[in-house]
Chain A
Amino acid sequence: MASTIKPAKDLNAVRALIKKHKKNDRLFSVIGIFVIAALAIALLVLFLDLVIDGYPKMNLEFFSNFPSRKAEGAGILSAWVGSALVLTVTFFVAVPMGVAAGIYLEEYAKKGWFSDLIEINVANLAGVPSIIYGLLALGLFVYEFGLGTSILTAGLTLSLLMLPIVIVSTREAIRAIPVHIREAAYAVGATKWQVTLHHVLQYAMGGVLTGIIIGMARAIGETAPVITIGALTFIAFLPPAPVSEVMPFINFNWLDAGFTVLPIQMFNWISRPEHAFHINAAATGAVIIILTLLMNGLAIRLRYSIRKKIKW
């Protein structure tokens, strides 16, 4: 027997309507792909532009020469050494403090006004423009503490920037560890710190590392705060070597030394009117971007592999 419930509308009309609506679907798909492709191409152009412009300078001398008034012979020796030393300070300040703060917030802090206060502060610090950190460092480290425009000041300044990144990634990594792992450790008599050190931190290591790498990559490229503390743009000497041949083999005089860093060197060269310096700037930019892309790429890889590997 035939059905008495008829299709609500003429099926052909329905089909025509769907066809019309689906045009929007397709149109948007095309727009979406186009936009994303444009972004990817922008990234690629940006990268190639630097590499091609800077290609003539890409040789060993560029890394072993000091900056110079003459563009041809100028290099980034003082800049990369400066960046390396500044980042060393940043690493040794921001990583322990950031990881410790992350552990405190996730494992120790009781829910209350105090942990809320810290939490709100961490969230807000992540959004403070980097140049404000530069002003803080200028007022506090350079003048109030009298550290001057030194590698130590720059390292501390960048660690302020890196701190929220490390804290946030540490917390996220710790939060992903299920309670039963902790309970298992407590059940055999471990103390809170033992549980934290032997288990929580171990299992969170991948995530923490990701945050550290991303933070360091950001610190390499940060320019504004380092300019604000008064870093010199023309440095034709190296800080004292951290390692010496006589006792005690290690010295910390380099912490007080004047310095420049890669992005400031690049900024300085961009600001020159002569085209030859722009080539130097491009080459420096290529070095910076390759470093940051490699580090970010590593961090992204790391995160994906953690996500894939660990199933609690």
Chain B
Amino acid sequence: MAQKKIISPGLKKNIRRNFLERLIELSLMLSGLAAVLITFGIVYILVTESLPFFDAVSLKEFLTSTVWTPLFERKNYGILPLVSGTITITGIALLVAIPLGTITAVYLSEFATHKVREIVKPILELLVGVPTVVFGYFALLLVTPLLQKIYPDLPTFNMLGPGIVMGIMIVPYIASVAEDAMRAVPMAMREGSYAMGATRFQTAVTVVMPAALSGIIAAYILAVSRGIGETMIVAIAAGQQPNFTFNPVESAATITAYIVSVALGDLEHGGIGYQSIFAAGMVLFLMTLSLNILGQWTRKKFTERY
């Protein structure tokens, strides 16, 4: 009789064990699916909640009118003032962050000794961890008063102060992504340059930076996206009054600041004010999403090369 001999009782439980394994895999997969569901949830909510808004407001008015007063007696629904505020503040932030971030990245990647890098990188990471509401405090109660000493006509709420602070906030993002990109440039390429008698600076600027260009550009793009989506700094220090201007010494609201100002008031579910923040959110989402996709695409193109 060639009956199978059972060596260990553990071997008998195959069916149950396989079932359990499948069950576990399924539940793990569902968690992974959550990420997809969140994205769909965002799109679903933004679309369904802002659809009634676009029933009441023509797309033409939304995109071309330069007045945004959904909560006033005389209602106007032009997103441009919010966009102009967003662009101006982000622009100021980039003027600060791009040079500082790039210099930091080049220094850390090409000049700093191992020891310096080990000290500086944690500091940058700590800077990333500072909550934006704290940066907002900094902008309103420290930077703007300082700027007023130089330029006394500067109003309490203005775009310059928060723009500068936002720039400081963004520096570590640019520095770390750009540094990663430069460090990924193969050492052989640097050796090739040094072997020709190039100095550090020459190697950094004429060989390493061009080689890492798409990675560095990705860092800039992601920084733009970060600036556009930043909320608390601007809500606190730039004012919440929509203002169609690109003048940094005026006060203006951004898309994010508008959402905050509406959310702080009494929100009537289904009212035009409620719908308007979803319409504004939609614009914000589309802007950041396209920038993020562009940024990731550029970054991926870069990593594929090395």
Contacts and interface: CB of A to CB of B under 8 A. Distances in A.
A122 B103 contact: no
B52 to A, nearest CB: 12
Nearest to A137: B45
A296 B126 contact: yes
B245 interface: no
B106 A218 contact: no
Interface in B14-33: 17, 20-21, 24-25, 27-29, 31-33
Interface string B119-132: 01011111111111
Contact of A35 (B48, B107, B236, B295): B107
Interface stretch (B60-68, B147-155, B185-193, B221-229): B221-229
A29 interface: yes
A97 B46 CA distance: 24
A173 interface: no
Nearest to B125: A300
A133 to B, nearest CB: 8
A289 B299 CA distance: 32
B139 to A, nearest CB: 10
Interface stretch (A19-27, A63-71, A179-187): A19-27
Interface string A138-160: 11100110000000000000001
Contacts of B134: 46, 50, 221, 266, 285, 288-289
A124 B124 contact: no
B210 interface: no
A282 B140 CA distance: 12
Contacts of A87: none
B92 interface: no
B277 A25 contact: no
A285 B141 CA distance: 13
A53 B137 CA distance: 11
Given A136-B42, A270-B140, A223 B25 contact: no
The range of chain A's interface size is 35 or more
Contacts of A124: 39, 289, 292-293, 296
Contacts of A38: 100
B93 interface: no
Given A39-B127, A131-B260, A191-B17, A136 B41 contact: yes
B182 interface: no
B140 to A, nearest CB: 6
A267 B234 CA distance: 12
Nearest to B123: A40
B232 A224 contact: yes
B284 interface: yes
Nearest to A300: B122
Contacts of A40: 120, 123
Contacts of A164: 35
Contacts, number: 272
Contacts of B140: 270
Interface string B78-93: 0000000000000000
A58 interface: no
B231 interface: yes
Which 3 A/B pairs are nearest by Cβ-Cβ distance? A221-B131, A129-B229, A32-B107
Interface of B: 17, 20-21, 24-25, 27-29, 31-36, 38-39, 41-42, 45-46, 48-49, 100, 103-104, 106-108, 111-112, 120, 122-138, 140-142, 168, 171-172, 197, 199-202, 204, 222, 225-226, 228-232, 235-236, 256, 259-260, 263-264, 267, 269, 277-278, 281, 284-285, 288-289, 292-293, 295-296
Interface of A: 18, 21-22, 24-25, 28-29, 31-33, 35-36, 38-40, 42-43, 45-46, 49-50, 53, 96-98, 100-101, 103-105, 108-109, 115, 117-118, 121-125, 127-136, 138-140, 143-144, 160, 163-164, 167, 191-193, 214, 217-218, 220-224, 227-230, 233, 263, 266-267, 270-271, 278, 281-282, 285, 288-289, 292-293, 295-297, 300, 304
Given A39-B171, A139-B49, A296-B126, 12 more contacts: A35-B107, A49-B138, A101-B32, A104-B31, A108-B25, A139-B45, A140-B41, A218-B129, A228-B277, A296-B128, A297-B126, A300-B126
14 contacts: A39-B124, A118-B33, A125-B35, A127-B288, A128-B42, A130-B231, A135-B278, A139-B48, A191-B17, A192-B21, A217-B129, A221-B132, A221-B133, A295-B129
